[in-house]
């Protein structure tokens, strides 16, 4: 049975197309995020923020500063610090002082952390593939291009208000 994905205002909001598009984007994004969060907890007893930190560290094999990590994740230093401390306590990453400034920390995955991330990433890729399976590749590519145009528009609006 196909699950109905609800939309804010049940999709009944008339009027401005930009508002309707925004609400549809939010509905889709929130649905995907909720499913990912639930599956990470149910299947791996972990969280989406922990996965995000591990994924970022996987892309920075030599390690990354805490401030660069928080910038990469678009979250505050305080938010990332708590997650990093938990992952470090679990033996999934290590933290060391930066060689050029011992007040800054560089965090990196341990081998155990890399192995754990590979397991999580395989499941994550499968979940995403399943969620997008009913969308033909040409429509998925078109959506990707349309979202790039939206991202450009958002960047232009930010420059106008700066």
134 burial level (CB within 10 Å; 0-12, 13-18, 19+) = exposed
- Over the stretch 102-125, which tens digit does the pLDDT of each residue have? 888 899 999 999 999 999 999 999
Q: Are residues 14 and 94 in the same domain?
A: no
Mean pLDDT of 56-73: 93
Query: Could you give the 3-state DSSP secondary structure of residue 153?
Result: helix
CATH of the domain at 136: 1.10.10.10
Contacts of 51 (CB under 8 A, 6+ apart): 40, 117, 120, 124
Q: How confident is the model at residue 1 (pLDDT cuts 50, 70, 90)?
A: very low
Q: Are residues 111 and 70 in the same domain?
A: yes
Report yes or no: 106 and 98 within 8 Å, Cβ to Cβ. yes
19 pLDDT exceeds 60? yes
Backbone dihedral angles phi then psi of residue 96, each to the nearest 5 degrees: -140, 155
Stated pTM of the model: 0.83
Q: Are residues 3 and 76 in the same domain?
A: no
Q: Are residues 125 and 137 in the same domain?
A: yes
9 pLDDT exceeds 70? no
Q: Are residues 16 and 51 in the same domain?
A: no
Q: How far is CA 92 from CA 31, 52, 70, 75, 109, in A?
A: 29, 13, 18, 20, 6
If you write DSSP's letter for every residue of 104-128 in order, what string do you get? EEEEEE-HHHHHHHHHHHHHHHHHH
Q: Are residues 75 and 10 in the same domain?
A: no
DSSP state of 9: G
Answer with the one of 14, 29, 44 that is the final residue of a domain: 44
73 burial level (CB within 10 Å; 0-12, 13-18, 19+) = middle
| Mean pLDDT taken over the chain | 90
Domains of the chain: total: 2
Q: Are residues 27 and 107 in the same domain?
A: no
For residues 12 and 5, give the distance between their C-alpha atoms in angstroms, rounded to a whole number: 14
Q: Are residues 76 and 155 in the same domain?
A: yes
60 burial level (CB within 10 Å; 0-12, 13-18, 19+) = middle
For residue 24, the enclosing domain spans 1-44
Q: Are residues 82 and 107 in the same domain?
A: yes
């Amino acid at each position: 049975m196909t699950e109905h994905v609800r939309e804010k205002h049940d999709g009944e909001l008339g009027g401005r197309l930009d508002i309707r598009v925004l609400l549809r984007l939010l509905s889709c994004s929130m649905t995907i995020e909720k499913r990912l969060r639930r599956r990470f907890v149910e299947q791996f007893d972990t969280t989406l923020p922990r996965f995000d930190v591990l994924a970022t560290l996987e892309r920075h094999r030599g390690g990354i500063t805490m401030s660069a990590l928080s910038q990469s994740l678009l979250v505050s230093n305080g938010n990332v610090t708590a997650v990093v401390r938990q992952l470090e306590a679990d033996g999934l990453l290590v933290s060391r002082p930066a060689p050029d400034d011992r007040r800054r920390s560089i965090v990196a995955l341990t081998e155990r952390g890399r192995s754990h991330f590979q397991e999580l990433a395989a499941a994550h890729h499968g979940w995403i593939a399943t969620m997008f399976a009913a969308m033909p590749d040409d429509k998925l590519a078109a959506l990707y291009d349309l979202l790039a145009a939206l991202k450009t528009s958002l960047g232009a609006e930010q420059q106008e208000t700066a």
